[in-house]
Amino acid sequence: MVHVAQEGAVHSPPVVLARNAITAYVSEGRVLSVPADPPAMLTQRAGAFVSLKKFGELRGCIGTIEPAYPTLAEEIIQNAISAATRDPRFFPVVPQEVPDLTISVDVLTPPERVSGLEDFDPQRYGMIVKSGTRRGLLLPALEGVDTPEQQYEIVCRKAGIRPGEPCEFYRFLVTRHH
């Protein structure tokens, strides 16, 4: 399920953590220590994507489908740093840009295998398509992506999979933090 914060709302703890991690890394070259609060981020493990936008345009997006670190807090810290500095589509974020970044953190449920496009609602489910060793992912509830067919086309293009090529479909839910 996608939860979207209301306008004017205080940023959620995952977003505050991501912003602090980016600031520490791009300003000081330091990996942020895992904070003690909130406890849920210290006990939960999940894949997570950190997305950065600057003036409404994508500025970086990196994540993990399944947990790669012992806690969700560490997952967010590492993926925030990667989104800011290692997304191959963009130059690394510089300290002066950080105040202009809009950050969202998507926490993923474990992917479930499904039979095909009929099992998708792009507003509710993210899509993973696998063919051999190639795999592509698209988060749910993205502007301009209204049909499962649009999701599939984008995922295939990202993964280098030809449309119609034999593949496996997986879907997942996210909790989106702003």
Q: What is the pLDDT of residues 63-107, one digit of tens each?
A: 999 999 999 999 999 999 999 999 999 999 999 999 999 999 999
Q: Decide: helix, strand or coil at residue 42.
A: helix
CA distance linking residue 24 with residue 30, whole number of Å: 5
What confidence score (pLDDT) does residue 38 get? 77
Tokens 């993973």, located at residue = 128
Query: Does residue 15 contact residue 177 with C-beta atoms inside 8 Å?
Result: yes
**Residue 6 — left, alpha, or beta (φ > 0 → left; ψ -120 to 50 → alpha)?**
beta
Tokens 């984008």, located at residue = 154
What confidence score (pLDDT) does residue 52 get? 98
Parts of the chain with a pLDDT under 70 = 1-9
What confidence score (pLDDT) does residue 5 get? 38
- pTM for the whole thing? 0.90
Walk me through the domains of the chain, giving residue ranges and CATH numbers: 13-108 (3.30.700.20), 112-177 (3.30.1490.150)
